[in-house]
Amino acid sequence: MTIVSVYAVFADDEEAARIGRKMVEERFAACVNILDPCASIYRWEGQIETANEVPAVFKTGKETAAALVDRIAALHSYDTPCVVVWPVNRALPAYANWVCQSTGKET
């Protein structure tokens, strides 16, 4: 199994924890790391905006990534959330197997 990381940004800690837990419970992700809030500066509807947001990194398999992205987007409070897939070029085989087993995929 090829593993990937899915990076997403949430409105607050509660949303990140709620969606993160649901993705692990539903086996879309083996794990989610919820990071400290960050300051985001972005253009939205023609204006420069600043907001505190909460980034998170989900660990999953390449085969599950599209479904994970879609599921996060469906539960997200933003109309246009940041949810992107990052490739993992190398991982310990035992870790890749754990991700595989935790998401219900065979090694």
Residue pair 93/3 in contact by the 8 Å Cβ criterion: no
Q: How do residues 11-56 score in pLDDT, each as one tens digit?
A: 999 999 999 999 999 999 999 999 999 999 999 999 999 999 999 9
Domains and their CATH numbers in the chain:
3-102 (3.30.70.120)
Predicted local distance difference test score (pLDDT) of residue 104: 85
Which residues pair with residue 49 across a beta bridge? 42
> Mean pLDDT over residues 50-69, rounded?
97
Amino acid at 2: T
Q: For residue 3, what is the enclosing H or E element? A: strand 3-10
**What pLDDT is recorded for position 59?**
98
Q: How confident is the model at residue 106 (pLDDT cuts 50, 70, 90)?
A: low
Find how far residue 90's CA is from the centre of its chain: 19
Cα separation of 44 and 93, whole Å? Answer: 41
The 3-state secondary structure of 12-57 reads CHHHHHHHHHHHHHCCCCCEEEECCCEEEEEEECCEEEEEEEEEEE
Task: Say which residues have a Cβ less than 8 Å from residue 27's Cβ, sequence separation at least 6.
Answer: 102, 103, 104
